[in-house]
Structure 1
Amino acid sequence: MAAFNLTYSDPPTFTLTGIPGLEAAHVWISIPFSTFYIIGLLGNFTLLSVVVKEQTLHKPMYLLLCMLAFTDIATPTFVMPKVLGIFWFNLKGITEGGCLAQMFFLHTVSVMHSATLVTMAFDRYIAICNPLRYATMLTNARIAKLGLVGLIRAVLFILPLPLLLSRQPFCASRIILHTQCEHIAVVKMVCGDITVTRIYGWVLMFVVMGFDLTLITLSYGLIISAVLRISSKNAHQKAFNTCTAHICVMLIYYTPSLFSNLTYQFGQGIASHIHVILVDLYLLIPPMLNPIIYGVKTKELRDKVGKYTCCRR
């Protein structure tokens, strides 16, 4: 009888170092990070709960806010448990499959977030420039379909990233100088030819962000043009007030995203720990601020939140 010796090898693992050079301060850094994360979760879950419970908020605008809240919950949740595991328990290991999966979901949600902001800009354009057609053009069903299209687009655009990297040989050390498996950080660990991967990453950034920002700029250009044709100052103020919250949300999302990508590519003189902290804060600050901004700037939502959170006699 032939004997067969079956040997099993552990799946290849990577090591996430955390914040390079600041390992001794990981526990202290975890305090603001976990605080921002918890505040973001509470704010976004509160927004979702209020919109779901209140029939009067079942409108396209608030459906879009729910989509934004879902992405704001998912974005840090794909990263922070692992980050806090590194900070608190020194759990730095992650499998190759787990790393590529984290990268895929993280960037997919980011592209979905951008698509949601584009849809919100379109929503504001119709509300201000074609208010009489708003109810027929933007129904809840149509917003849901636009959200589905945004999700499909995100999956199709991001899926090639982990597929390309999975075919590459990684360096023997398998050490990622980061708290997460961000695409650029993983690419730096590849020992093979990364020309195709790098080009696709650049094309993806310019196509997604460039296309989305162009549509948003076009929408707000048309909004400003329409508002300036109105003679009433009260109408001016009302129109701009409806857009203020969305503009703030766009600024806190796109500005750090562009800065982070550009510093990775061209900021060779910037310390690596600065890169890592910027990326982590980019994943934490917008989700924390978005529900606060909309809660402050949207009176109807603010009143409904107060109804459920404040004690009533």
Structure 2
Amino acid sequence: MKKTALKKYYLMVLLLALFVSCKDKTSSTTSTDTETSSDATSGNDLDVNTSSFSEDDNSLICLWPKVGLRDIAGRKGAKYLETIYFGETVKFLGEKETASDNKDYLKIELSDGQVGWVYEYLFSENGKLAVLKNPLAIYKRPDVMEFMGNKFTRGNIVVVLNEDKGEWKKVVGLKKDTEGWVNKTSDFIYDDLDIKLAILYNRAINEETSAKQQQKLKLIVDNPAFQQSGLIDIVQNALYDDEEGYEEDYEDDFSELDASISSDQLYITTEVLNVRSSPDSEADNVVFQLEKGNVCNIIEKGLYETLRGNSSNWYKIDYNGNEGWVFGYFTSKN
């Protein structure tokens, strides 16, 4: 009898130990995805936090499309808590730690009080969100001789940093791809409604499929609150937009340009056109942008391709010494 009771006792202990082990494994699931992965979403994708906590708080602004908030510094052994989106403001809690991957991480607090750690490089400190009402030239230094050959476009979101020299302001854009000085600060819009619209627009056009893009763009257009925004036309145009540029509801008169350019030149017929390092619209390879009416020299005629129902050749072009590839559908070669 004693042996039987002892066996039952050990069996119960073993079962209890297995139960606890399984529970621990479930609760300590780690994320091995990259810092900007989208393995989790934050409920309502239309919620946007752009407000600062207070003037006394040290706030940070997210510069990446999606950033993971984790329970410890680093990714190894860390639990994924929440997704932070481009343009969101968080509170820096004053703790900084170098993780096992030799990267610096910051302890932050979200607007709902949730606390966790983020990769420092993906955030900007001590800046203010703004959206541009007009295209804006950018310079490497606060000097008109230091033009970088690219521009921010209307509706772009920037962080205006706390660095200025006279009328010059230092700014940084999405993913820190564009960083430099601007001297037309009158083109900055600090209105909270316009900034929220621009952030949601950015999320929409960065969706992986055209169907998701259109769905989220329509949500913005149908939202009555955004009808008061002066930037609503950007979203409306994008509902019928191919990735490469904005299509207008009317036809422009390009007769003068047609008469003035040669056969080895082309001009841009859409509001904004991406110029890429290679003839591939799916890659993250945009090197600069052109505007409607810009005249370019043709270096090479590329392959014929159909993109979202629009068919044309790719063209390698030169514009003021800057080279890249454009999709011909949005040029005079259409």
TM-score for the superposition, normalised by structure 2: 0.25
Higher relative contact order (CA 8 A, sep 6+): 1
Tell me which protein shows more helix as a share of its residues: 1
TM-score for the superposition, normalised by structure 1: 0.26
Tell me which protein shows more strand as a share of its residues: 2
Larger radius of gyration: 2
